[in-house]
């Protein structure tokens, strides 16, 4: 099963991709995670990407095509994947389509997570993760059970993404509606698009996604 999770920043793509990875053995391919890793490692691509990401803009399509192409090449032929946060432009969607065709693979479903803007801003500006194990938390919706201590690994350091502030988030939303939302029609026209209610709680969203995967 090869999937794309499509939706604005904060819609829950990463959370749901991780669940699908755990439950269905699919590989999560997140270009945001790849770019943050490159930035943390201080590579040339990472340094260039960091400034673009902090401003809430999109990294050039060629960079993304290369990142995704490399990762797809590393997968076994039968290994299913979830694209999380990619494609974000029609050019990226075309490039991915061409890569998959060339590898004799196909896209099975594109799942849209629909969420209202106000909730997105609240979700994104409040989120943080354990610096040690990556467990996700939220100031309002999901605090650690013991204040200051990770529920999973007991770590006491937490971090926030540098682009999870209100200004960058408003810019990211603008970019989403201008450049990424047209992909909804792109995939609808190809008969691939399924939409789920991303405002529901995490378990319910996961249930709705599972339902779309069972549709023939």
Residues involved in catalysis: 13, 88, 127, 161, 172
How many residues bind to ligand AMP according to rule CB under 6 A?
17
Residue 119: in which H helix or E strand, if any? helix 117-125
Is 50 an interacting residue with respect to ligand AMP (CB under 6 A)?
no
Q: Does 123 bind ligand AMP (CB under 6 A)?
A: no
Of these, 17, 58, 110, 169, which contacts ligand AMP (CB under 6 A)? Answer: 58
Binding ligand AMP (rule: CB under 6 A), the pick from 8, 12, 85, 198 is 85
Q: Out of 3, 27, 39, 59, which residue is the one contacting ligand AMP (CB under 6 A)?
A: 59
Cβ–Cβ under 8 Å, residues 3 and 81: yes
DSSP single-letter state for residue 215: -
Helix (H, G, I), strand (E, B) or coil at 116: coil
Triad 51, 16, 35: Cα angle to 5°: 20
Q: Are 36 and 147 in contact (CB under 8 A)?
A: no
- When asked if residue 88 is in the footprint of ligand AMP (CB under 6 A), the reply is yes
Task: Tell me: does residue 96 bind ligand AMP (CB under 6 A).
Answer: no
Subset of 128-167 contacting ligand AMP (CB under 6 A): 163
CB nearer to ligand AMP: pick between 88 and 109: 88
Per rule CB under 6 A, is residue 9 in the interface with ligand AMP? yes
Q: Which residues contact 2 (CB under 8 A, 6 or more apart)?
A: 80, 81, 82, 100, 105, 106, 107, 108
32 binds ligand AMP (CB under 6 A): yes
Q: Are 169 and 57 spatial neighbours (Cβ–Cβ below 8 Å)?
A: no
Does position 8 bind ligand AMP by CB under 6 A? no
The reply to whether 31 sits near ligand AMP by the rule CB under 6 A is yes
Distances (CA, A) of 77 to 74, 88, 92, 142, 213: 9, 25, 22, 38, 20
**Which residues of the shown chain bind ligand AMP in the complex (CB under 6 A)?**
9, 31-32, 35, 52-53, 56-59, 64, 85-86, 88, 92, 163, 172
């Amino acid at each position: 099963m090869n999937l794309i999770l499509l939706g604005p920043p904060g819609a829950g793509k990463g959370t749901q991709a991780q669940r699908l990875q755990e439950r269905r053995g699919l590989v999560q391919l997140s270009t945001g995670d790849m770019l943050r890793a490159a930035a943390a490692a201080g590579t040339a691509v990472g340094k260039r990407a960091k400034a673009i990401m902090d401003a809430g803009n999109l990294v050039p399509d060629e960079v993304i095509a290369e990142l995704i192409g490399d990762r797809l090449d590393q997968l076994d032929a039968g290994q299913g994947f979830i694209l999380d946060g990619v494609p974000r432009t029609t050019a990226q969607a075309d490039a991915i389509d061409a890569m998959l065709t060339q590898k004799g693979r196909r896209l099975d479903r594109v799942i849209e997570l629909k969420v209202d803007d106000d909730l997105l801003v609240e979700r994104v500006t409040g989120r943080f993760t354990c610096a040690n194990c990556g467990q996700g938390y939220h100031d309002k919706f999901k605090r650690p059970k013991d204040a200051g201590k990770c529920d999973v690994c007991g770590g006491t350091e937490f971090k926030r993404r540098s682009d999870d502030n209100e200004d960058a988030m408003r810019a990211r939303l603008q970019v989403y509606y201008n450049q990424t939302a047209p992909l909804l029609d792109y995939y609808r026209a190809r008969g691939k698009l399924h939409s789920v209610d991303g405002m529901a709680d995490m378990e319910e969203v996961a249930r709705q996604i599972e339902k779309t995967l069972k549709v023939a």
